Structure 1
């Protein structure tokens, strides 16, 4: 108990001494400022001005970033809306018309010797042609409802025939649905299959060149979650 009381008294004395020294320093600073006011006030004004300018600049920067973010979000929404309007016409096609339409997109982008070979016994090669640089292109087309997803089984069938049966240099799996299952997309990545889901197809329909879409395989899907296989 005695030790505690001594400790408390020591703390009080230390606190009083610190307060006393703080008062002395404050008074001394006040006296010095009063005696050197002609030197101090320009510095204070400069510091205040810098603080005001810095605060205003920070506020403008934040407002700019917010405006840029809102503009980007608006553009993405408009782009998605435009893709869906374009895809509405594609959704109205039959599966045979869809294959013919994909062939037309390939021709538009400079592919040559493009033929539609879809039907029974096509072994996954619905559209066959050659890219402008001479590489053989083999396309599997799946006309699915937007809410569906391409399964691992669908992808396995195409993987098994695209190169072994058809000698594809570039193998593309294009679909009108929004996503590939996680297993299907993983298989596509491992086997170098270009996966074009609804969003990428929508960009293709609206004028994006096929060769610019190839590196985007499977990215930017309309749904953030891929179903499990």
Structure 2
């Protein structure tokens, strides 16, 4: 015996509820014009905010991730080139690896997607070793004067000490630990050093 067919819903109950709610809101606004206008502005603001959040959430990823790579297995020089590849992937120009003797704290120099020159100091450390405050001081003392950069970052496969984090926040240097590096490598825009 075939199963009985379900009748398609025509949506009349939902439409009736919406009409009743709209009429009730219109009556309330007519009776309280000042509060009604304020309520309409609040409602419109909530709608705009929700639309912006949805739009930005849809655009969180902006670049393809690089092929699987394990920064922990890279040499320090390979890690510098890996970071340069991430910069180039994300639309940076004039990307070059400059690490070595007399590099004045710079391992990668680039022009970010907004046209501003930037600098990265790369620290390929084992997970248990933290990057200390002295590295932030070196970058802070050289990125503007020695390299004419608008911003700088230190990128590590490990973590930063609390002193390094506090000082970097005070002087405006971006710190990318292993978690943020992983997000950047996977293509998340907000994790890039210039954001």
Q: TM-score range by the shorter chain?
A: 0.5 to 0.7
Q: Is the 8 A contact 2:153 2:193 kept in 1?
A: no
Partner Cα separation in structure 2 for residue 108 and residue 120 of structure 1: 27
Q: Is the 8 A contact 2:176 2:193 kept in 1?
A: no
Q: Map of 1:18-57 to 2, 5 A cutoff?
A: none
Aligned to 2:85: 104
Matched with 2:41 is none
Secondary structure (helix, strand or coil) at the match of 2:70 reads: helix
> Match of 2:18?
none
1:213 & 1:167 partners in 2: Cα distance? 23
- The aligned residue for residue 98 of structure 2 is 117
Q: Describe how 1:56-135 pairs up with structure 2 within 5 A.
A: 89-135=70-116
Q: Kindly indicate whether residue 191 of structure 2 is the aligned counterpart of residue 213 of structure 1.
A: yes
Q: Which residue of 2 aligns with 1:19?
A: none
CA distance in 2 between partners of 1:87 and 1:161 (Å)? 33
- For the residue of structure 2 that corresponds to 1:199, the secondary structure is helix
CA drift at 1:214: 5.2
Structure 1 equivalent of residue 42 of structure 2: none
Displacement of 1:129 in angstroms is 0.8
The residue aligned with 2:182 is 202
Cα distance change on mapping 1:140 and 1:87 into 2, 3 Å: farther
How far off its partner does 1:216 sit? 10
Residues paired across the two proteins, number: 129
TM-score (norm 2): 0.62
Higher helix share: 1
Residues 127 and 157, structure 2, Cα contact 8 Å, conserved in 1: yes
Q: Given the superposition, is the C-alpha separation of residues 143 and 215 from structure 1 closer, same or farther in structure 2, using an over 3 Å criterion?
A: closer
Unaligned runs of 5+ in 1: 1-85, 218-229
Specify the SS of the correspondent of 1:129.
Answer: strand
Which residue of the partner structure matches residue 182 of structure 1? 162
Q: Secondary structure at the match of 2:165?
A: helix
Higher alpha-carbon Rg: 1
SS in structure 2 at match of 1:147: coil
Counterpart of 1:141?
Answer: 122
* TM-score, reference length from structure 1: 0.53
Q: Structure 1 residue runs of 4+, over 2 Å off?
A: 214-217
Q: Which has the bigger relative contact order, CA under 8 A and spacing at least 6?
A: 2
CA distance in 1, matches of 2:69, 2:178: 11
- 1:158/1:215 Cα in 2 relative to 1: closer, same or farther (>3 Å)? closer
> CA–CA distance in 2 between the matches of 1:88 and 1:153?
29
CA distance in 2, matches of 1:88, 1:148: 21
